[in-house]
Structure 1
Amino acid sequence: MVTEYNIEPNAVLTSPLSLESGSDLEYKAPNLVQRLLSLFKNVRPGSNLTQFQLPPLFNLPKSQLQCFGESLYCVGDDMLSKCIDGKSPLERFAAVVGWSISTTRPAIFGVAPFNPILGETHHVSRGNLNVMLEQVSHHPPVTALHATDETKNVETIWCHNIIPKFYGTSIEAVVYGKRKLKLSSYDENYVMNAPKLLIRFFPVPSADWVGNVTIRCKEIDLEAELCYKGPSLLGFRGNNRSIKGKIIESSTSKTIFEISGHWDRTVLIKDVMDGKTTIIHDAKKSITKLNAPLLKDPKGLCSNESAVVWGEVSQAILRKEWEKARGAKNVVEEKERVLRRERECKGETWIPNHFTLSYSKEEGWDCTPKLTLVPPAPIVAP
């Protein structure tokens, strides 16, 4: 349950999504399926939901920026450090696969985070890892993430464009864009994508990560192919949250390791030559007993920080003050609409503060950080 939270002046920080998060959230609406379907009664199947606004009754008390960031800075086991500790390219690659899987966090049926407003940021530090996120586009929604650890020569850059579509009995949210991880000490660059989120209303309500993920590192001629699976259509959960895949040599397509397991339990790699198996991801160590971030420096908070932008709305949701939450959310969204109209009247184009945004038909959206290193943040993850 997401019951732990820290409320500072104008800022609310809640505990991250973890294996303890479940369908029994205290603030979640009753009769969820009926209520949700009533929201979509006038939405045609196949419609893009990027501009669809949920009432606070169906919101988590946090922004999508915070959810993305939590998957990186809220960890029980430091999987990112294991990527650097590998003694060989193959060991490091296997560790990167494990780290990528560890960023998968449970989605909860019936509730979703706030859609970030344009220019919203989320800045958090965990030890020497400093993380900055920014909503660099609103229509379409594009989120950028930059994280650096100068002591370990690690850098990761994410650029996500989520497109949710309604299909009558389900919603499919595809996460377009790339995640890049650079291990500067080894001159290794890893590029990967993310699974998509499938929300089913019938026959059994569920929210699961599904689809194919590819991880590549050209410098060491290796790649991984992963397949995320949810429960069967009839709700049988034998393969729920399962992962299967392999690590291959890119130039020859030769399989080196086979991958199997469940991202919410353990994932193993098996050496095809000698049959030896190794655990590369243990969910009990990496995504359980996670604590809410803490506000270390209130004076360092920006007005566009997620915890501030949505602070009043989040506090009202946690207290089940639904009318207050609705009013506070309307204030945030109307302010955004006013600023957009003002820019349009002046013929101005909004420019991100922390990233340079680009687009091509071949590659889609891409983001380049303006700073080499992310500075320490006023919010810290324990």
Structure 2
Amino acid sequence: MLADFLAHPDEFVNVTDHQTPRDRFIQVVKWYLSAFHAGRKSAVPKKPYNPILGETFQCLYDIGSSSSSNDAIAKDGPVSWASDNHVTFIAEQTSHHPPIASFYAECPAKHIQIDGCLWTKSKFLGLSVAVHMIGDAILTLLDHDERYVITFPSAYGRSILGVPWFEMGGKVTIDCEKTGYTANIEFLTKPFYNGKKHQIIGTLFGPDKKEFCKIDGEWNGVMNAKYSDTKISEVFFDTKKTAVIKKIVRPIAEQSEYESRRLWKDVTYYLKSKQMNKATASKSFLEQRQREEAKDRADKTLKWQTKHFTEAGELKWTYENKLIKRLKQ
């Protein structure tokens, strides 16, 4: 799901093409709001595979732009088989209790990167389940020294004893301390009576703290923007008319043991072939192995060692070999 947040990688890298802080900020908001629909192809919530400690996922997105000559920068990054014009992504399950996923993406040719760490906290609400997303991500534009701190909405599974359905809710923010631009966005949950599903409202503020743009619409449909200073109204983003760019993942045979698609290949095969008992047995095998490994580490007083991310505070990990670090070498 985290990799699907880059399903419109062209919107991600286009942030760097804008000339003013205001236009770059608007593009960050547009990319952010464009991202949620791709990971939610079904309106029905489905139980995901439980992440395994140390599990990783790598992929890239080909945005079709021409490459510069320095592909070595990309090959030292999160995806060694990428070129510098690709958008590359890596994630790692860096903690099991609580379940923390750390992730990182970059495009070397555009000097843009994003580094984040998220974990979930579930809560039963009668006939619903709330999954709160705790943590944030920092998008950095290296050529402008701009850092955008981004938070994420909660997810809700509704009518869990009937016909279940999914929605998102809660307030999120996007802030750039250097330029002073900020956005307050709310994912609205459906009212009990009447009302529409999947609505968002957002307000963008400039360095003077004055509102200059309002956004509304459906996060999985059409979103509109109205600019108070120019009086211009426009379609901000239309998820129905904008093609998703598919992620490119190495064949399973070339993946390491703990890469997601290889790790879960038996479970996936049995689910697709509707052999539910075998799928359950394969899933239980992986989970039991994880418990035994945890017990063995505890007996030997050993600490789990992450592969690609390093600790950066309490319940926080950061990608070890960021683009900004490699460009300085």
Superposition TM-score, scaled by structure 1 size: 0.73
Cα distance change, pair 352–263 in 1 and its aligned pair in 2 (3 A):
same
Q: Identify which of 223, 227, 233 aligns with 1:267.
A: 223
Q: Deviation of residue 368 (structure 1)?
A: 1.7
SS of residue in 2 equivalent to 1:320: coil
Q: Deviation of residue 284 (structure 1)?
A: 2.0
Are the aligned partners of 1:95 and 1:280 in contact in 2 as well (CA < 8 Å)? no
SS of residue in 2 equivalent to 1:338: helix
Over aligned residues, Cα RMSD in angstroms? 2.1
Q: Which residue of 1 aligns with 2:65?
A: none
Q: Which residue of 2 aligns with 1:12?
A: none
Q: Which residue of 2 aligns with 1:179?
A: 137
SS of residue in 1 equivalent to 2:54: coil
- Counterpart CA distance in 2 for 1:246 and 1:167 is 29
Matches within 5 A, 1:233-272: 233-234=192-193, 236=194, 238-250=195-207, 252-272=208-228
Matches within 5 A, 1:156-195: 156-195=114-153
Are the aligned partners of 2:183 and 2:205 in contact in 1 as well (CA < 8 Å)? yes
Q: Deviation of residue 373 (structure 1)?
A: 3.8
Q: Which residue of 1 aligns with 2:111?
A: 153
Matches within 5 A, 1:1-382: 67-72=1-6, 74-75=7-8, 78-105=10-37, 106=40, 108-127=43-62, 128-201=86-159, 205-234=164-193, 236=194, 238-250=195-207, 252-286=208-242, 291=246, 293-295=248-250, 298-299=253-254, 301-360=255-314, 365-373=315-323
Are the aligned partners of 1:229 and 1:239 in contact in 2 as well (CA < 8 Å)? no
SS of residue in 2 equivalent to 1:114: coil
Any unmatched runs of 5+ in structure 2? 63-85, 325-329
One-letter amino acid of the structure 1 residue matched with residue 311 of structure 2: L
One-letter amino acid of the structure 1 residue matched with residue 316 of structure 2: D
- Counterpart CA distance in 2 for 1:328 and 1:204 is 28
- Counterpart CA distance in 2 for 1:297 and 1:135 is 19
- Counterpart CA distance in 1 for 2:262 and 2:251 is 14
- Counterpart CA distance in 2 for 1:96 and 1:227 is 16
Structure with more contact order per residue of length (Cα contacts < 8 Å, sep ≥ 6): 1
One-letter amino acid of the structure 2 residue matched with residue 280 of structure 1: F
- Counterpart CA distance in 1 for 2:246 and 2:174 is 29
SS of residue in 2 equivalent to 1:284: coil
Q: Deviation of residue 278 (structure 1)?
A: 3.2
SS of residue in 1 equivalent to 2:110: coil
The superposition leaves residues 64-90 of structure 1 with CA deviations (integer Å, 9 ceiling, x where unpaired) of xxx111222x33x72112211222111
- Counterpart CA distance in 1 for 2:175 and 2:156 is 25
Q: Deviation of residue 338 (structure 1)?
A: 1.0
SS of residue in 2 equivalent to 1:98: helix
- Counterpart CA distance in 2 for 1:282 and 1:86 is 20
Q: Deviation of residue 103 (structure 1)?
A: 1.9
Q: Which residue of 2 aligns with 1:51?
A: none
Of stretches 125-134 and 275-284 in structure 1, the one that deviates more from structure 2 is: 275-284
SS of residue in 1 equivalent to 2:282: helix
One-letter amino acid of the structure 1 residue matched with residue 236 of structure 2: I
Are the aligned partners of 1:136 and 1:357 in contact in 2 as well (CA < 8 Å)? no
- Counterpart CA distance in 2 for 1:199 and 1:241 is 13
One-letter amino acid of the structure 2 residue matched with residue 264 of structure 1: N
One-letter amino acid of the structure 2 residue matched with residue 357 of structure 1: E
- Counterpart CA distance in 2 for 1:195 and 1:145 is 17
Q: Deviation of residue 292 (structure 1)?
A: 6.5
SS of residue in 2 equivalent to 1:220: coil
Cα distance change, pair 110–103 in 1 and its aligned pair in 2 (3 A):
closer
Are the aligned partners of 2:187 and 2:199 in contact in 1 as well (CA < 8 Å)? yes
The superposition leaves residues 143-192 of structure 1 with CA deviations (integer Å, 9 ceiling, x where unpaired) of 00011111100100111011111122111000000111011112111001
Any unmatched runs of 5+ in structure 1? 1-66, 375-382
Cα distance change, pair 326–204 in 1 and its aligned pair in 2 (3 A):
closer
SS of residue in 2 equivalent to 1:109: coil
Q: Which residue of 2 aligns with 1:52?
A: none
Q: Deviation of residue 231 (structure 1)?
A: 2.2
Q: Deviation of residue 311 (structure 1)?
A: 0.8
